[in-house]
Chains A and B, each alone.
Chain A
């Protein structure tokens, strides 16, 4: 019974990683870059929810929507200002710029909102779910997190696979030049990708902070790295892969915290990642690409 509890909270943590990883993986698939600033967008989203919901008492749904709007704008702006001029530059240059943007977001937050931790109140005010005659109590945050992630995942898959814009996104990710020749607005599609990724990051931020309620300017860094690992784990560029990778990562982390060692849990997560990549070098659901000579 206890195991089930750990498992479920692991899935919940993993769902948050999955939401963040979706942003990484979509941007990677379409813009072919690692957006290192993605983790910090979560933090900005968290602060937005904090200032509207926790300080001013807005309706939680409204607060999350507001945070999504701010993060969407932020994501589009970052892409427009920092990444678009570098689109044909070497990938390392873009990576360093992304790191610069990450520092910029963290330090702006530090200047604007100071580094003292803000305690976040959960956006979900439902009672915990009691199972098996009270032996297993699951916090409402956990259930909502899992449910929201599944819904987002399904909607996203539908969007990418069934709509016209989704097809355009897939086309851009396969061959940017050919997509442009087919009349697809490549810049628009890339902006849209950043917008979706950042909006998801805002949701992830709100959900993450509801379960782990300490908000500081570097809140997003570690979940950001973990989500990046999750995206690679599942096969970077693949949407179901990001989801699977995120959930597995959360479960492994939580179970090793519970049964092996709290301090070693990160080491175990990374060790599993290395082993998976050694066995399957493109990640769990990644596409194998043949190198043409």
Chain B
């Protein structure tokens, strides 16, 4: 404890252990409850969205929490991944065995989102702050709009791609894959057994968390946080700003693409309109509530905020109203200097009476989550 080095190492190990046990306990709990038939069908339907949003939140955290840039277009990568994935998934059809079909769909989704990440990242990362935010938002709107006017189909003559319905003609019997603004429907699920689909979601979440935590504990990760903390200082010690920024941005996009694929395979329809700025904002809210740069925090916040509408079902009329008030109150309580001071004084008072106050004090200088995140639970 006395050595600073030992302590930081301990902290990162703690984050690993905490993140993995959190996910595995959640997985095991759901598997047991599911196999005993204790979960309602509505609850079962929430499982994949929870995984998808957790992946979204963890990957956005890479940009917002670790790189320190505000992105309002994370939904765009989800949409890019989902669309590319679904086009392959529906195009391949049931002739292909389900396991390779899902795996290739995931790879295609991730790759498409990554490519879109490069397209967006190269111009966007020249900006910073609010300008970066607005440009990511702009890219999200553009992708959504362009996809809504795209027509894509395959017949014996090859691939047909058009931007207008009038110039889009397929041979009779051929199936169009994207029909303009109409939602893509009839996407069959990963598996009829929800528990298997859920396991796929959990595996992807574990993959995301492993990648992000490993990245952040590597040389590249330290460069990324150095850029966040002081761009000029980072540059002056020879860190290549553009390449590290792009690295964070593109990895974040790739995982958002994966999230998009599992989300849309679970939902069985893909409506481009849904992937707008509101979705990006929802994910951003998860990141901020969970704690910036805090991976387990993002997962917990994503799960809670996805479940919250379900928990508030009895007040369905009031649920978004309650959600917005909860959001404002939590932000005020966690961030307003007046409240923070009040809370610290309160905590100090309790600790003063507590003879075993040593350990919590040590925790208090840990991550953001330990300082701010616990109250939400």
Interface with A: B135-143, B192-200, B248-256, B257-265, which one?
Answer: B135-143
Interface with A: B98-106, B182-190, B217-225, B332-340, which one?
Answer: B332-340
Judge whether A104 and B232 touch: CB under 8 Å.
no
Residue numbers in B under 8 Å from A85 (CB-CB): 332, 336-339
Judge whether A270 and B139 touch: CB under 8 Å.
yes
A 266-280 to B, binary, CB cutoff 8 A, 1 in contact else 0:
110011011001100
Interface residues on B, range: 35 or more
Q: A281 with B131: in contact, given A96-B285, A99-B327, A225-B277 (CB under 8 Å)?
A: yes
Q: A96 with B145: in contact, given A82-B332, A274-B135 (CB under 8 Å)?
A: no
B317 at the interface (CB under 8 A from A): yes
Q: A96 with B138: in contact, given A104-B324, A107-B321 (CB under 8 Å)?
A: no
A9 to B277, CA, bound (A): 27
Q: A97 with B332: in contact, given A85-B338, A232-B131 (CB under 8 Å)?
A: yes
Of A28, A93, A228, A266, which one neighbours B331 at CB under 8 angstroms? A93
Q: Which residue of A lies closest to B288 (CB)?
A: A96
Judge whether A89 and B328 touch: CB under 8 Å.
no
Residue numbers in A under 8 Å from B339 (CB-CB): 85
B 347-362 to A, binary, CB cutoff 8 A, 1 in contact else 0:
0000000000000000
Q: Which residue of A lies closest to B337 (CB)?
A: A88
Judge whether A103 and B323 touch: CB under 8 Å.
yes
Judge whether B327 and A261 touch: CB under 8 Å.
no
Judge whether A89 and B135 touch: CB under 8 Å.
no
A188 to B250, CA, bound (A): 44
Q: A100 with B149: in contact, given A92-B70, A293-B232 (CB under 8 Å)?
A: no
Least CB distance, A106 to chain B, in whole angstroms: 8
Judge whether B126 and A278 touch: CB under 8 Å.
yes
Judge whether A278 and B123 touch: CB under 8 Å.
yes
Of B130, B281, B285, which one neighbours A236 at CB under 8 angstroms? B130
A277 to B281, CA, bound (A): 22
Judge whether A267 and B145 touch: CB under 8 Å.
yes
Judge whether B131 and A111 touch: CB under 8 Å.
no
A 208-226 to B, binary, CB cutoff 8 A, 1 in contact else 0:
0000000000000000010
A165 at the interface (CB under 8 A from B): no
B312 at the interface (CB under 8 A from A): no
A185 to B334, CA, bound (A): 27
Residue numbers in B under 8 Å from A97 (CB-CB): 327-328, 331-332, 335
Give the contacts of A76-120 with B (CB-CB under 8 A). 82, 85-86, 88-90, 92-93, 95-97, 99-101, 103-104, 106-108, 110-111
Q: Which residue of B lies closest to A85 (CB)?
A: B336
Kindly name the residue among A86, A99, A229 whose own CB sees the greatest number of chain B CB atoms within 10 A.
Answer: A99
Of A89, A99, A291, which one neighbours B335 at CB under 8 angstroms? A89
A228 to B141, CA, bound (A): 14
A242 to B251, CA, bound (A): 35
A 255-293 to B, binary, CB cutoff 8 A, 1 in contact else 0:
000000101101100110110011001100000000101
Of B142, B292, B324, which one neighbours A270 at CB under 8 angstroms? B142
Least CB distance, A178 to chain B, in whole angstroms: 21
Q: A263 with B64: in contact, given A92-B292, A99-B285, A270-B138 (CB under 8 Å)?
A: no
B90 at the interface (CB under 8 A from A): no
Residue numbers in B under 8 Å from A86 (CB-CB): 331-332, 335-336
Of A93, A101, A261, A266, which one neighbours B288 at CB under 8 angstroms? A93
* Residue ranges of A at the interface with B (Cβ–Cβ < 8 Å): 28, 34, 82, 85-86, 88-90, 92-93, 95-97, 99-101, 103-104, 106-108, 110-111, 225, 228-229, 232, 236, 261, 263-264, 266-267, 270-271, 273-274, 277-278, 281-282, 291, 293
Besides A100-B327, A106-B320, 12 other A-B contacts (C-beta < 8 A): A34-B133, A88-B337, A89-B337, A92-B70, A96-B288, A99-B285, A100-B328, A104-B328, A110-B320, A225-B277, A229-B138, A293-B232
A selection of 11 A-B contacts at a CB cut-off of 8 Å is A28-B130, A34-B133, A82-B332, A86-B332, A96-B289, A96-B327, A107-B320, A107-B324, A229-B138, A270-B139, A274-B138
